[in-house]
Amino acid sequence: MKTKISPPLGLLLSGLLLMASCIKSPSREKTPDPGPAPETVTYDDLALKSLAIAPDANERIFGTVVFAPEASAGRWNGRISGYKADRTQLVAEFDAVAARVTVDDAEQQSGKTANDFSKPVVYRLYADDGQYKEFTAVLDNDGYTGCPVVGIVTDGQKGVTSRDVWIPGRMVIDRQEGECDELAAEIEIKGRGHNSWSRDKKPYAIKLAEKSPVMGMNKQKRWVLLANAGDRTLLRNRVAYEIGRRTQLAWTPDSRFVEVVLNGKYLGSYQLCEQIRVDKNRVDITEMTAQDIAGEALTGGYLLEVDRYYDEPNKFRTKYRDLPVNIKKPDEKVLTAGQKTYIADYINKVEELLCAGEQPDPAYRDYIDIDSFADWWIVIELCHNRDTRLPGSCYMYKERGEKLCAGPLWDFDLMTFIPSTSFLLKEYEITDFSKEGGDRSLWYKRLFADPIFAARVKERWQAYKPAFETIPAFIDAEAEKLEVSAGANWDMWTLTGNFNRDETLAWHDAVELLKKNYSDRLAWMDGQVAKL
């Protein structure tokens, strides 16, 4: 007889529990919760609560377009201003009380279904019993000027209200019907400027996530949107930079006219411009490090701005002329005490040689590049840029192992191209510096006391004059491109102040006055330079 061997008690219990877990008792099986019973949508319930077209779902829409219902039920109106949009395949977001929604019998899903908004779009909202109501969406598209569009949408469509805080977002350059290169990029944006930031129409600084060429201009990360809010013509900066580009200054900013749409709001006509930066495509000098503290490495490169605002973290005033010098590069993250001492001593040596004696010491020519100082002066005087005499936006740079150079040019929207038959800088010199913030001009009165410098100016003027004589034609060509944009801009903004003496004129008349003042100044300077 065989003996039956029983399994251990623990193993037996485990097996029973396993078997029990595999058996589902009908009485204990959990049924899915169906949720609340759907409410019946009646005809009286049917309603379109909101309708919008957002940039997240539509590539060439530069801000959310919100439709508004008319007082009479049934029609909803939306508007895209400042740029020409492709309305043929737009995805709308809507909130509706309806059993289902259709357009031309096609079922609609909010945020997913595209429709042709170049014509009225009829939304049909159905009740459960098949009755329906219709709502017609009409999307107007006006204000197209012919200029390319810079469309910017910040994260969360947050406003740009500070010159210090960068706001992340996206930027698209839409050529519209032009021929420029297009661009879609991650960016950061903030405000910029001093006097210009106080105006209603704000200027902005743009920082691309990666260096890119923009609208045919050289690759870089940093760009500015000049508002030209105080310039009736909107042309002054553009014309001045073109004059500079016809000299031999090493680099002068390039720019393009654009329309700006920020978070769906059309802001008017802007000038997308290269910003002054140390870069091989801009101010091409050595980017210094904190280790550049001895020998030739200490000699450059430095980027300086002589400016009355005197607002950079690192700055100094010169010994003889009390000029306010801002050290732009190396910046505050890099600049060492030794570097600051070197460049301050260098500038003070230039002033000593020019200003300490009754006549300039010719040795100053070992310290500055007189050709660049001649060219910078020619452009400033030809444009009659009074801001430089304060001084304002007077840039200089010094490359490693080389002389101090004048430039680049910057800031010509105010107090320029004004009628005058006198020089700004050649004969102007302030000697009483007791008043803080008083006018201080550059070294040109002393420079022109040197016959060598005066002769170089005369020589370079004669070389450039044929190119300067075609600037009025350049103004005509730019004005033709800008005409519609300028009209739209001044329909939006009010110009205040009397900086350029054309503020009360119509735009066309202001452009004609700009040309006349330039031509008169060109003729006057030609006669004066001939006497040098």
Domain boundaries defined on the chain = 43-142, 149-274, 295-529
What integer pLDDT is reported at residue 184 of this predicted model? 94
Q: Average pLDDT in the 165-169 region?
A: 97
Ranges assigned E (strand) in 183-308? 183-191, 204-214, 217-226, 255-262, 265-274, 302-306
DSSP helix/strand/coil, 196? helix
For residue range 203-226, what is the model confidence (pLDDT) as tens digits? 999 999 999 999 999 999 999 999
CA distance 443 to 394: 12
CA 491 vs CA 5, 233, 495: distances in Å: 102, 14, 11
Q: How confident is the model at residue 430 (pLDDT cuts 50, 70, 90)?
A: low
In sequence order, the 6+-apart residues with CB closer than 8 A to the CB of 428 are 389, 441, 444, 445
**Which of 24-33, 192-201, 300-309, 381-390 is predicted least confidently?**
24-33
Q: How confident is the model at residue 10 (pLDDT cuts 50, 70, 90)?
A: very low
pLDDT at 445 over 90: yes
Instruction: Check: CB of residue 266 under 8 Å from CB of residue 143.
Output: yes
Task: Give the angle 170-174-176 at the CA atoms, nearest 5°.
Answer: 160
pLDDT at 481 over 50: yes
pLDDT at 195 over 90: no
Other beta carbons less than 10 A from residue 440's beta carbon:
19
pLDDT at 377 over 60: yes
pLDDT at 73 over 90: no
pLDDT at 419 over 60: yes
For residue range 102-160, what is the model confidence (pLDDT) as tens digits? 999 999 999 999 999 999 999 999 999 999 999 999 999 988 898 999 999 999 999 99
pLDDT at 242 over 70: yes
Most confident of the following: 11-15, 371-375, 390-394 = 371-375
Q: Which fold has domain 43-142?
A: Immunoglobulin-like (2.60.40)
Q: Average pLDDT in the 275-295 region?
A: 98
Greater confidence (247 vs 178) lies with 247
pLDDT at 414 over 50: yes
DSSP helix/strand/coil, 413? coil
Q: Average pLDDT in the 408-423 region?
A: 96
The structure's pTM equals 0.87
Q: How confident is the model at residue 5 (pLDDT cuts 50, 70, 90)?
A: very low
Core vs surface per residue 86-112: b (16+ CB within 10 A) or e: ebeebbbbbebebbebbbeeeebebee
What integer pLDDT is reported at residue 221 of this predicted model? 97
pLDDT at 90 over 50: yes
What integer pLDDT is reported at residue 431 of this predicted model? 54
Tokens 């720019």 belong to: 255
User: Average model confidence (pLDDT) for the chain?
Assistant: 91
